Structure 1
Amino acid sequence: MSYFCTMITKEEEKFIDYWEQSRGKNKRWISVLTVGLPLALLMVVTIFANFFSGWYKRAAMIRNSDSSQVMVLMIAAILIVGFVVYFSAKHQWDMNEKRYQEFKQKRDRAGNS
């Protein structure tokens, strides 16, 4: 068992207080959107810019000959946005929860010493 730095810092105590108050709030859909939406939109805009830039001539010919390709791309973009938004928000919540549990254990150990 290691006893390195069992004291809890003020920042860790602030995080514990913050997370105890906002654990449930961070599962609302608006906070979920704010976490992953910028990354998802950046990915989709990059894909669209690449698709419509015309740098790959064969892909441009296929796109111009078949209009359903754009519809498939739109559906894929929506799925990408949904996937990235959901999983990035879930990941951030899990990381904050893990951090909260670690700090809380550290505080409990420091109080028992």
Structure 2
Amino acid sequence: MLTEKEEKFIVYWEKNRIAQKKNTKQFIIGLTMGLLIGFTTLVLIFSGWYIRATMVANSKLSPIVFLIAVIVLSVFIAFLNRKYKWEQYEQQYLELLAKKKKTDKQVQQKK
């Protein structure tokens, strides 16, 4: 038997699975995470926290290339985050459907 929470999830995911796959909210959340990682790296490099890394960054690192890398990394993390979340929910949905089918089959066999 499925719990009430599992039944609600099945109903919710049946209605929203296509919309969630194209949802930009998850992409924005992932983009925020990626930008946070990139800007944290920028702060650590330019704050002089690790002197040797700061010297190497200042001598060999082009700021434009680094900013492009941060943006590319952020978009990649956003895409990966969105895809991962959707796959998690889809896997849970398929497992619950299989469980429901199995319990329905067992109930029918008992009758």
TM-score of the pair, normalised by structure 1:
0.81
What are the equivalent positions in structure 2 for 1:91-102 lying under 5 Å apart?
Answer: 91-102=84-95
Q: Report if aligned partners of 1:63, 1:70 keep a CA contact under 8 Å in 2.
A: no
- Output one character per residue of 1:18-62: Cα deviation in whole Å (capped at 9) or x when no partner: 111111111225134234123212211211111211123344345
Unpaired runs of at least 5, structure 2:
107-111
SS of 2:81 mapped into structure 1:
helix
CA distance in 2: counterparts of 1:88 and 1:72, whole angstroms = 24
Letter in 1 for 2:40: T
Letter in 2 for 1:33: F
CA distance in 2: counterparts of 1:65 and 1:12, whole angstroms = 56
Unpaired runs of at least 5, structure 1:
1-6
**Does residue 76 in structure 1 map to residue 76 in structure 2?**
no
* Matching residue of 1:39: 33
**Does residue 17 in structure 1 map to residue 21 in structure 2?**
no
Deviant stretches of 4+, over 2 Å = 55-66
Identity of aligned residues (%): 36
CA distance in 2: counterparts of 1:45 and 1:34, whole angstroms = 16
User: 1 or 2, which has the higher helix percentage?
Assistant: 2
- Output one character per residue of 1:51-104: Cα deviation in whole Å (capped at 9) or x when no partner: 2111233443455556x6211110110111011000111011111000000001
Counting matched residue pairs gives 106
TM-score of the pair, normalised by structure 2:
0.83
Distance 1:34 1:13, change over 3 A: farther
Letter in 1 for 2:28: T
